Structure 1
Amino acid sequence: MARRALTAAAIAFTATATLLLTACGGSGTGKPDDIKGADTGAGSPSASATAASGSGRPDVSLPRDLRVTFDVTQPSDADHAAALENAKNYVLALNHGITAQDPEDPAYQFYSLGNATKYAKKQIQAWVNDEWTATGTDSYYRARTDDVGSTGGVLVTMCRDQSKFYGKNVKTKKVKYTEPSLDDYQQFRLLMAAPKGAQKTWKVLQIEVQGRVKECRR
């Protein structure tokens, strides 16, 4: 995985991210993103999807009708590899919370801090409020990792294809299918905070989701 120069947009996000890392977290929450397949509207499956709770990490397993896939290359740098792995786990945890219909699900809380925790809770709550769960395939690919200044943090960027990711009504079980469009392609930027003190795990501190990203089309 190449460590390419950050784009202007990524640099702006990273500048804010650096301040957040230095201050140990921010206070803004932002508006929840629209999620395809829900009226309020968010390679091979990661081995993390079946992680045992006995490992000390939360369960992020998913129902059989939902797959979250990651077609990414593992970075050679150990810190970048660990940051990418837990960025993936955060995405899995977000989907786990949606399918468990639990805005207080411990999985996303384990893999996040600050704004990223608030973001996940709002997203899950939106699905629960409108009585939707998720089904289909949620795909992530073209990942890259970049150092964030001198903070020790890592910025993980991934494309997302949700053209086969749908909402399913929890009561009627009816699936809300949608036609493929540019709306299916997003770019995720996840600011990963390095383990520090009692924290032993790379965690998502901040997340930014950009919609209708042409460059993410496959």
Structure 2
Amino acid sequence: MARRAFITSAAALTAATALLLTGCGGDESSPDDIKGADSGSESPSASAPPSADAGRPDVSLPKDLRLVFDFDEPSDPDHSAALADAANYIRALNHGITEQAPDDPAYRFYSGAGAARYAQSQIQEYVDGGWTVTGTDRYYDAKTSSSDASEATKTVLVTFCEDQSKAYGKEVKSGKVHRTEPSLASYQKFSILMASQKDSPVWRAQQITVAGKAEECRS
């Protein structure tokens, strides 16, 4: 059972950046309101979830679900940190799904604004349908680009592909796994606007675009 594609225009992401920089994002983008499994990532920062003793939430996942982040680590420290916490946002979203918790504090820690609403809606759909997820979910071909910044907030746009061809829906009550054949629908393209207060080491997803049937991710 693939996550539902959520389409947001590039103009909307640009507008979201402007809101962050002018301080109009509301409480959802505040640093205060606010998965992990083995990874094939080449990036140390994205290869494993951070420990909870750093003040970060638990994003561990069941043994039957493996997330692979096949990311090269950017040379820019801000871009590297933003990419690592974009991976943590994905971990947190999957943590919420496997815990069947639409208000899971994990994704709330790693997101605000539209990205938090997206995570909550995805988790709620799984809960309402009686589903969870199993298998191997791969993320790759990550790119980062600088966005506008203010004196108080730094922003980085993170994009990457997802291959869900080996990730499957599983019925919560029965444990039955629904295996599907790989197809164009197995591939999605993510664009996530990450933001950080300049005195904080944590980057949080603010806006997200998920384009389904991403042909460019299948090559």
TM range (shorter): 0.7 to 0.9
User: Aligned residue for 2:189?
Assistant: 187
Contact kept in structure 2, 1:182 and 1:212, CA below 8 Å: yes
The residue number in structure 2 matching 1:44 is 40
Distance 1:187 1:72, change over 3 A: same
Mapping of residues 120-199 of structure 1, within 5 Å: 120-151=119-150, 152-196=154-198, 199=200
Equivalent residue for 1:39? none
User: Aligned pairs, how many?
Assistant: 193
For the Cα contact (< 8 Å) 2:195–2:204, is it kept in 1?
Answer: yes
Q: Which moved more, 1:10-19 or 1:177-186?
A: 10-19
Aligned-residue CA RMSD in angstroms? 2.1
d(CA) in 1 for partners of 2:22, 2:212: 28
Following superposition, the deviation at residue 116 of structure 1 comes to 0.8
Report the Cα offset of residue 23 of structure 1.
Answer: 4.1
Tell me, in whole angstroms, the C-alpha distance in 2 between the residues paired with 1:73 and 1:17: 27
Query: What corresponds to 1:98 in structure 2?
Result: 97
Indicate conservation of the 8 Å contact 2:114/2:207, yes or no: yes
Shift, 1:10, TM fit: 7.8
Aligned amino acid, residue 73 of structure 1: D
2 CA distance for matches of 1:13 and 1:217?
26
TM-score where L is the length of structure 2:
0.81
Q: Which residue identity is paired with 1:113?
A: G
Q: Is the 8 A contact 2:9 2:209 kept in 1?
A: no
CA gap 1:106/1:77 in 2 versus in 1, 3 angstroms: same
Question: Which digits, 9 at most, give the CA deviation of each residue in 1:109-161, with x for residues without a partner?
Answer: 01001111111111101101111011001110000000113443100000000
1:72 aligns with 2:71: yes
Q: TM-score, normalised by structure 1?
A: 0.82
Provide the C-alpha distance between the structure 1 equivalents of 2:12 and 2:112, rounded to a whole number of angstroms.
17
Structure 2 partner of 1:5: none
1:216 aligns with 2:212: no
Cα distance in 2 between the residues matched to 1:70 and 1:88? 7
Which residue in the other structure is 2:208 paired with? 207
Deviation at 1:196, TM superposition (A): 4.2
Cα offsets for 1:174-202 (capped at 9, x unmatched): 011111100011100000012246x5411
Aligned 8 A contact 2:13 2:207 in 1: no
Partners of 1:166 and 1:23 in 2: CA distance: 41
